[in-house]
Amino acid sequence: MLKSFTRLWLSGARQVAKTQRSQQKKLLKSLLPKPAAKARRSASPAPKAVAPAAAKRASPNVRQRAATIPAPIRLPGKWMTFYYSSLADGVLPARRMPYWLYIPASAPAGPLPMVVMLHGCEQTAIQFAQGTRMNALAEEKGFAVVYPQQSLRGHPNRCWHWYERSTQNGGDDVQLITGIMDKVCASYPIDRGRIYVAGLSAGAGMANIIALRHPDKVAAVGLHSGPVYGAGHNKVGAYGVMQMGAAHLADQAIRELMLKSAAFPGMPAILIQGREDKVVRRVNLDQLTLQFRMLNGLDAASESAPVERLGRPGGKRYAHPYRLHDYRRGRKLVLRVCEIQHLEHAWSGGDCHLKYNACAGPDASRMMWDFFTRHRR
């Protein structure tokens, strides 16, 4: 009788453990951004500004599923691969991080501005460069671009740990990325007063932390579909932030940061968000806006009336309608908030043959660079 009961108990315990493992896998999987599902023509009405012929086409957010990935465009500049080791700077334990660097052939005489680009989950540096087309823009405008890459050892899906408290405090991957920035500046003619950081999703979360923890190194930051700063602190909490924001923790995190850095110089920012993003929901945009208003001392008088921009229906330059909301200190633009209609969790105006990129504009890369050119340290 006792043996029978023991066997029955062990069998039940195994079943419970199996169920728990299954639930944990589902939860962890849900923390990662997923490619948008194929849109059905009846899923949502076409915007009024879109011509009937254009409305019948598949959404540019979705074409990536059927099309083959084209070869990257060959550019005349230098496209180089490096590794950074924290051991070289005496940081223990020793860690390495790969990064890619683009130096344009059209570089003007003198030091170059530089943009640090941080990819999202399930992306590589090369995919992010191709998807955002930032190298082509760098060749046109004459700036350097560096792409740090999260390793598979650092995270099995190459996510940045923006939600970890140690990362938010400036440790872990933040040290590696800033080490890469310093190494590039020491090796190439980079203008240290014109260094900018940008990212998508988890990369936006990390870009934000780097800018806030190292305002002496960063002149402005660009966040596309990014989570609010200062909350999460574990994987389950991170998912909660992505879906619901951080409520009172958002204000608290900025107040604590400003108390620790009494001489915080402010941080110009451009924030871009898709209204149909179900991975990092727009509540994060609202809370990030409040955070950057606090950081930059922007009161109600600094706020301009929102400007609505119409989309372009059809053609190679198809673009969604979007709203710009600017905040100025005097005549200087300090904060720009861009909310794009119909855009899901994807880089706006990118190469939609690659995941997490939308062919339809506006062009997020160009918008960010246009904003960055207004600022320097």
Instruction: Assess contact for 340 and 362: CB atoms under 8 A.
Output: yes
Structure tokens at 115: 């943009």
Three state DSSP letters for 242-288: HHHCCCHHHHHHHHHHHHHCCCCCCCCEEEEEECCCCCCCCHHHHHH
b/e per residue 258-291 (b: at least 16 CB within 10 A): eeeeeebeebbbbbbbbbbbebbbebbbbbbbeb
- Placement of tokens 């390495």 in the chain: 96
For 233-283, how does the pLDDT look when each residue is reduced to its tens digit (9 = 90+)?
888 999 999 999 998 888 899 999 998 887 899 999 999 999 999 999 999
Question: Structure pTM?
Answer: 0.81
CA distance 321 to 343: 10
Specify the 3-state DSSP secondary structure of 198. strand
Residue 306 burial by CB count (10 A; 0-12/13-18/19+): exposed, middle or buried?
A: exposed
Q: What pLDDT is recorded for position 71?
A: 66
Say which residues have a Cβ less than 8 Å from residue 259's Cβ, sequence separation at least 6.
none
What radius of gyration, in Å, describes the C-alpha atoms of the chain? 22
b/e per residue 187-214 (b: at least 16 CB within 10 A): ebebbeebbbbbbbbbbbbbbbbbbbbb
Block mean pLDDT (10 aa), the chain, length 377 = 44 49 48 44 34 37 47 87 85 85 89 98 97 97 97 94 93 94 96 98 98 97 97 91 91 90 91 97 97 95 93 80 96 97 97 95 98 96
Q: What pLDDT is recorded for position 5?
A: 39
CA distance 153 to 229: 24
Indicate the residue type of 34. K
